[in-house]
Amino acid sequence: MKIKTSIFAFFALFLLNSSSNAQTIDEIVAKHTEAMGGKDNLEKLKTVYLESEIDFGGMKIPVKMWRIDKKAMKVEFEVQGMKGTSVIMDTSGWVFMPFQGQTKPEPMTKEDVKMAKSELDLSGELVEYAAKGNKLELIGKDEYEGSEVYKIQVVDKEGNISTDFVDANSYYVIKKESKRKVQDKEITNTSVMGDFKKLENGLVMPHSIDAGMGGSLIVKKYEINPKIDTAIFEMPKN
C-alpha cells in the first residue's frame, strides 16, 4: 500500500512540475509576444522589405531582403560589383554566388531548405508556437552580456533544433543558437540581435544582427506589408 501511495505521489509531483513548466513557458511567450508589438499586430504582419548594410572590416556590403510570411524570402547583396542572391521558399530554394565561382543559379539542397525554412516565419518560432507545430522546453536561466536570460530549446516541425535566449527584462530574443550537420559534422550557428526599435505600426524589430561571420548587419529601413511580386522568387532559367 505504501509503495502504491509513493508511486502515485511521484507521478502526481511529475505532472504538477510538467504543468508548472508549461505554464512558465507560456508566460514567457506571452510576454515576448507583447514585447514584439502584440498578437494583433503580429497577425497582421504578412510581408516585409528591408534594406541593410554589412560592415566587414570597413567594406560596406548593401543587402536587400523581401519576405512573405511562411512562403518565401529573397536576400540580395552586392560584393565587388557582383550581385549575389539567395531564395528560400516552402519546399525549394536557389542560390547564385558569382564571387564564389558560380556561373548560374543553382537549386538548394533539401537539407539547406529544411534548415532555412524557419526564416519564413515573420512572427518568429515562439509566437503561437503550438499552432505552428513547434515544441518548446525551458532549459533554465542563464546570463548573457550582463543580462539575465531564459534559455528555451525549440524543436520545429521539421526537426530542427535551436536555442533562444530571451532577455528576462525586455523579453526580446537577443541571441539564437541553431545546430546543423555539414558533412556529418554538427555545426552551431549563432546570431545576436540588438538595437530593438518600435516601428510606426507598433511592431518592434531588431536593427542590428551579428551572425558571427566577422561583420554585423545594420538595418537601415523597414517596410511593413508592402506589395511583393512573387515572380522575384523564381529561379532564372539562364
Domains of the chain with bracketed CATH = 2-83+121-233 (2.50.20)
Beta strands in the chain (DSSP E): 47-56, 59-68, 72-79, 82-89, 93-96, 106-107, 135-144, 147-155, 161-167, 173-182, 185-198, 204-210, 216-224
pLDDT of 238: 67
Task: State how far Cα 233 lies from the chain centre.
Answer: 20
pLDDT surpasses 70 at 120: yes
In whole angstroms, give the CA distance from residue 10 to residue 4: 10
pLDDT surpasses 70 at 130: yes
In whole angstroms, give the CA distance from residue 174 to residue 164: 8
With contact defined as beta carbons under 8 Å apart, do 88 and 120 qualify? yes
Quick one: cell of 50?
A: 528591408
Quick one: cell of 10?
A: 511521484
- Summarize pLDDT for 59-92 with one digit per residue, the tens: 889 999 999 999 999 999 988 888 999 999 999 9
Question: Which residues, in sequence order, are bridge partners of residue 159?
Answer: none
3 state SS of 180: strand
Question: Is the full-model pTM beyond 0.75?
Answer: yes
DSSP assignment string, 22-78: HHHHHHHHHHHHHHTT-HHHHHT--EEEEEEEEEETTEEEEEEEEEETTTEEEEEEE
Give residue 40's pLDDT band: very low, low, confident or very high (50, 70, 90).
very high
pLDDT of 57: 75
Name the residue among 101, 71, 65 with its Cα closest to residue 230: 71
Give residue 20's pLDDT band: very low, low, confident or very high (50, 70, 90).
very low
Give residue 7's pLDDT band: very low, low, confident or very high (50, 70, 90).
very low
Residue 17 has, within 13 A of its CA and on its CB side, a CA count of 8
